[in-house]
Amino acid sequence: MKKILVPIDFSKKSEFASKMAARIAKKSNSTIYLLHLIELPTGVADMGAGSNFSIPESMLYLRKVREQIVAFKNNFFHKSTDVHYAIKLQNPYEGILKYADKINVDLIVMGSKGHSNFEEILIGSNTEKIVRTSKVPVIVVKKDNEKFRMKNLVFASSFKNENKKEVFRKFLGFANHFKSKIHLLKVNTPSNFESTQEATEKVKRFIKEFDLPKYSIHIYNDVSIEKGILNFSRDLNANLIALSTSGRSGLSHLFSASVTKNLSKKALKPILTIKV
């Protein structure tokens, strides 16, 4: 992991994401790229260094934004961390993906705009669109945690599709940076039930080709897959939940308002999503 992209808008969610990215960069010796997307008056299209702006107000505004980014960088990243920044005139969804592709990042860390409902992290927002279409893994951060550690990571899956092995390989690359213990989770539901023995064997076949120094297998029964993932992660006090997603449906089929509206805010964990 060499490059981490952190979209920022100077909000609390940006602070949460930056703190997370700073911890990851420290462990992996990665370079941080801060990206701020703004809309300027028509005619101001080139925002690169040394540009000639025709509108004085735009020049002043851009200077203030740069000052904010520098202050943000100094507040949330250690001096030893290599941090770059860019300011782009583009909408968040297109701007983030385009810049991520341009600099060939390995990970995107984003904050959630949701304040109470978990579904706001992943459904009906720019964040959900990034999660659904990003070519690289995305971490969505809901809240701050000063004592955050990458000690216990949950990888939730059906463990039945071969294409998910590539997702798991990417997840291992992430987990190995932190020497984390991996908790492999398969959720049983009433409509899709397997015996513990059958489900455990399925997980073992899935991971057979991988080298996992510290891991455990969990077969968890619940009324739905999404609720099982959240409840298990809360019971374990996991530090992060990893899931695969697809460009077709994102995560909206896993996380719905009816499932999560009554869960405690303290149960919300950072989500690492990796596209199939």
Please report, for residues 43, 113, 115, 164, the alpha-carbon distance to residue 251 in angstroms, rounded to integers and kept in the order given: 38, 16, 19, 15
End position of a domain, from candidates 111, 138, 169: 111
Number of separate domains in the chain? 2
Q: In what order do the strands lie in the sheet with 3-7?
A: 83-89, 31-38, 3-7, 107-111, 138-141, 271-275, 240-245, 152-156, 181-188, 215-221
Q: Is residue 121 part of a domain?
A: no
End position of a domain, from candidates 111, 126, 160: 111
Residues 163 and 264 in one domain: yes
Interior angle at CA 215, CA 133 and CA 184, nearest 5: 45
End position of a domain, from candidates 47, 80, 111: 111
Residues 76 and 171 in one domain: no
Query: What pLDDT is attached to residue 148?
Result: 67
Query: What pLDDT is attached to residue 40?
Result: 52
Residues 236 and 157 in one domain: yes
Domain that holds residue 234: 152-275
Question: SS3 for 17?
Answer: helix
Range list of H helices, 104-143: 126-133
Q: Which residues lie closer than 8 Å to 216 by C-beta, 6 or more apart?
A: 181, 182, 183, 184
Query: In sequence order, what DSSP letters do the residues of 144-186 get, joined into one string?
Result: --TT---SEEEEE-----TTHHHHHHHHHHHHHTTTPEEEEEE
Residues 164 and 257 in one domain: yes
Name the DSSP letter for residue 246: B
Say if residues 251 and 232 touch (Cβ distance below 8 Å): no
Residue 102 CA, distance from chain mean position: 19
Of 98, 93, 73, which Cα lies nearest the Cα of 15? 73
For the domain that residue 206 is a member of, what is the CATH number? 3.40.50.620
* pLDDT (tens place) for every residue of the chain, 276 residues total: 799 999 998 888 889 999 999 989 988 889 999 999 876 555 444 444 444 445 677 778 788 889 999 999 999 999 999 999 999 888 888 899 999 999 999 999 998 765 444 444 444 467 777 877 888 999 988 877 666 678 899 999 889 877 778 889 999 988 888 888 999 999 999 988 999 999 999 999 999 999 888 899 999 999 888 889 889 998 998 999 998 876 554 444 444 333 333 332 334 688 888 887
> Rounded to a whole number, what is the distance in angstroms from the first to the last CA of the chain?
19
Q: Is residue 116 part of a domain?
A: no
Residue 182 CA, distance from chain mean position: 17
Say if residues 35 and 7 touch (Cβ distance below 8 Å): yes
Query: What pLDDT is attached to residue 111?
Result: 84
